[in-house]
Chain A
Amino acid sequence: MVKRFGGLVAVDEVSLDVYPGEVVALLGDNGAGKSTLIKCISGVHHADKGEIYFEGRRIRFSRPIDARREGIETIYQDLALANNLDVGANIFLGREVKKRYLGGLIQVLDDAHMRRESEKALNLLEIHFPNLTQPIESLSGGQRQAVAIARAVYWDAKLLIMDEPTNSLGVPEQRKVLELIRKLRDQGVPIILISHTLPDVFAVADRLVVLHRGRKVTEKQAADTDTHEIVQYMVGALDDTRVQ
């Protein structure tokens, strides 16, 4: 995949595979091209060159909603939740369940149903909130992250992309989110994880891909490497593509 912005090559012939049941961490310093790459995958950007195959089929997205329809869900740093709405409204936002009257002429939101389903989705991830009817602005950052994850899972995400999911969370909450990531992986959902926090990455990732100035400089099994080595790749001291 190649993505250029004017003269700048943000993503330079990067190739990436993700398989069900694994967490692939995408690493790199600021400006390495991580965000651009995932935006190409999630339909926000259009790659200048390259192809995306999803479940064996070649796919193209013109808008983010196309990617979501295919089951590629992205959880952003800033969550993309409406803080003034409750948990159920958020999980079903844009895909509300309605009761139809007079042959569909009058459609009424089925809040009770959406709340029950949301509770089920949360229970599946072993998340419990005392009250699902409050606006989620009253929830903690970790709880809101959990709502975003539950939303992706409820809508049957077939690939989950998480951009800095533990940023701006307290330590216990970070641990909870990492637990969630493991749980999802164990349920067979492939995950692309972007993070700067190496301990988090090593806690959950199966495979690591490091980008440096738009190029993929290495790809390693988490078990075969360590923080020290990865940092050297991130700063450009090591590079597998360079002839030694």
Chain B
Amino acid sequence: MLSQVWAWAFLGSLVVFFVIAIQIVSDGTVNFLTIRNSQNILVAITPILLLGLGQTFVIIGAGIDLSVGWVMSLASVLSALAIRAAFNAGLPLPAAVVAGLAAAVAGGALVGLFNGVIIAKLKVPAFIVTLGTSFIVRGIALLLSQNTTVIGLPRGVRSYGNDALIYLIRGEGGGIYFFERPEVTGALLRRMDRILPYPVLMTALVVAIAIFVLRKTQFGRHTYAIGGSQEAALRTGIRVDRHIILLYVMSASTAGIAGFLSTLRFTAGSAVIGDPLLLSSIAAVIIGGVSLYGGAGTVIGTVIGALIIAVLVTGLVMLNVQAFWQFIVVGTVVILAVLIDQSRDLIVGRAKRR
């Protein structure tokens, strides 16, 4: 698990590597450091990050949540069904979208509650409970969606999931536009960059809240305490059971937001959207320095972890490396991150945890 300085340094050197390598490979025709590419990376990390945020809290609290991938899928289906139903019932589009968010978060929270109660009250290991839940949720998501993509959403949903705060058209006839997508075509469209799409902004807001909660509130402090020593937390009177339940509710709720945003992005609900992202999100958390033993880690670390994965994947694609290599590289980085962290402990001579 990389310390934060290491992680930033690693991310920086990755970017430098790809800038140079892509310049060389493409004979200077392709640039890694463009606005468009940076925004693509941001869009790519939003689901990984949202899944990883709740996970960060859960793992710092010495748990694990394997169900977030399928919870995201379930939430995507639920929000699509809710938006469609609300809109068909005559609600205005914004209200229908809010109903979709509510359905996604409530559905997620319910699964989290189920996880948390069984883990905290019935003392079943989190790994087993959330593994079981992920199958159950998978079944429910596929049943609800009839094993097909939920479509028939109002057209306007697309702009919620894809519009950006700023549009920049470079060169002749260009300009800068805010809030709304300018109606342009042809060459102008090709020169237009979307900066800060709304899903990215929403994710940034959730990240900011997560940073605040973990660092500055009693909830965050108790999360570290429970992860450090559940026994100590119990003896000081912290309501450990309730706290653990809340951690899983939080984790499933952020996964719910991820599902909601994917529905907006694709104007459709998908029961298979989340599962492939689960392991990437855990990888981001681990690369970002959260200890799997609990008690250590930060939200910013997870953000850097997600960025490292996204930069790697995007960079390799731009280098025309066959896609399957991405998996091999990301896996290697996860293991290296843990190895570097351990050797750092050896060098500094810090006592090993547990």
Contacts and interface: CB of A to CB of B under 8 A. Distances in A.
Interface of A: 64-65, 68, 76, 78-85, 89, 93-96, 98, 107-109, 137-138
Interface string B193-235: 0000000000000000000000011101110110111011101
B233 A82 contact: yes
B217 A107 contact: yes
Contacts of B233: 82, 93-94
Contact of B216 (A64, A65, A109): A109
Given A64-B235, A78-B231, A84 B296 contact: yes
Return the 10 tightest CB-CB contacts between A and B, nearest first.
Answer: A94-B236, A84-B228, A82-B228, A84-B295, A65-B237, A80-B235, A82-B225, A93-B236, A94-B237, A80-B232
B263 to A, nearest CB: 31
B350 interface: yes
Nearest to B296: A84
B168 to A, nearest CB: 35
A235 B122 CA distance: 43
Contact of A81 (B224, B229, B237): B229
Given A93-B238, A94-B238, A82 B224 contact: yes
Which of A64, A78, A93, A96 neighbours the largest number of chain B CB atoms within 10 Å of its CB? A93
A93 B232 contact: yes
B328 interface: no
B218 A93 contact: no
Contacts of A68: 237
Contacts, number: 71
Contacts of A108: 216-217
A83 B227 CA distance: 10
B351 interface: yes
Interface of B: 216-218, 220-222, 224-225, 227-229, 231-233, 235-238, 295-296, 350-351, 353
A43 B351 CA distance: 33
Contacts of B225: 82, 85, 89, 93-94
A137 B296 CA distance: 12
B100 to A, nearest CB: 27
A183 B66 CA distance: 51
A44 to B, nearest CB: 9
Given A84-B296, A84-B353, 9 more contacts: A64-B237, A82-B228, A85-B221, A85-B225, A89-B221, A94-B237, A109-B216, A109-B218, A137-B351
Contact of A80 (B216, B231, B350, B353): B231
A140 to B, nearest CB: 11
A18 to B, nearest CB: 21
A108 B218 CA distance: 7
15 contacts: A78-B231, A80-B231, A82-B228, A82-B232, A82-B295, A84-B227, A84-B353, A85-B225, A85-B228, A93-B225, A93-B232, A94-B233, A95-B237, A98-B217, A109-B218
Contacts of A79: 232
A83 B237 contact: no
A98 B351 contact: no
B218 A98 contact: yes
Contacts of B353: 83-84, 137
Contacts of B216: 108-109
Contacts of A109: 216-218, 220-221
Which of B216, B221, B222, B350 neighbours the largest number of chain A CB atoms within 10 Å of its CB? B221
